[in-house]
Amino acid sequence: MEHPYKAPTPQQMDLIRHAIGGHEMAEVARKMGVTLNTAKTHACALYKRLGVAGRPQAVARIHELWPELMEDIDAGMPRLRVHLSMLELEVVRRLGYGEQFKQMAKRIPGVTEDMLKWRAKNAYSTLQAANGTQAVHVSIRGKLIVANSGLPAIR
């Protein structure tokens, strides 16, 4: 069965390309040569088109549904050898699918919201990512060689 989502427009892919670069929305707008309001309009249209709430989720959904659209973005990016715990990788993955720290903390016994935030920041740093959008892209694109520290994944 085919999915109900329309592929992103060229402008929306341009927005995603710059967002993956770790840029804030004002910088994305400048790089696209549009006003901040126009960039926000493209972003809102993209989120609605994909049925998501933000940039990390949009990146995850595009990777999931149209991996070929991400190939040109991925082409010049090197593989990274990283040491992420399974918890850190899972936190980044879940953030990409829209789960909030508060929701994760409720689902995992003995883990606090602050602990999850710290793990996410550590993952961003390890992945050399400026923000969650960039971290989600790096973790999904399949160019990671992850060394498991033995911590269990979030279920």
29 shares a domain with 64: yes
Which CATH number is 45's domain given?
Answer: 1.10.10
Which CATH number is 110's domain given?
Answer: 1.10.10.10
Residue 62, in any domain of the structure: yes
For the cut 60, the answer to whether the pLDDT of residue 147 exceeds it is no
**Final residue before a domain boundary, out of 45, 75, 105:** 75
Whether this model's pTM surpasses 0.75: no
Cβ-Cβ contacts under 8 Å for 82 (sequence gap 6 or more): 126, 127, 144, 145, 146, 147
- How far CA 154 is from CA of 14, 64, 105, in Å, comes to 33, 20, 10
48-101: per-residue pLDDT in tens? Answer: 888 888 888 888 888 788 777 777 666 655 555 556 677 787 788 787 777 888
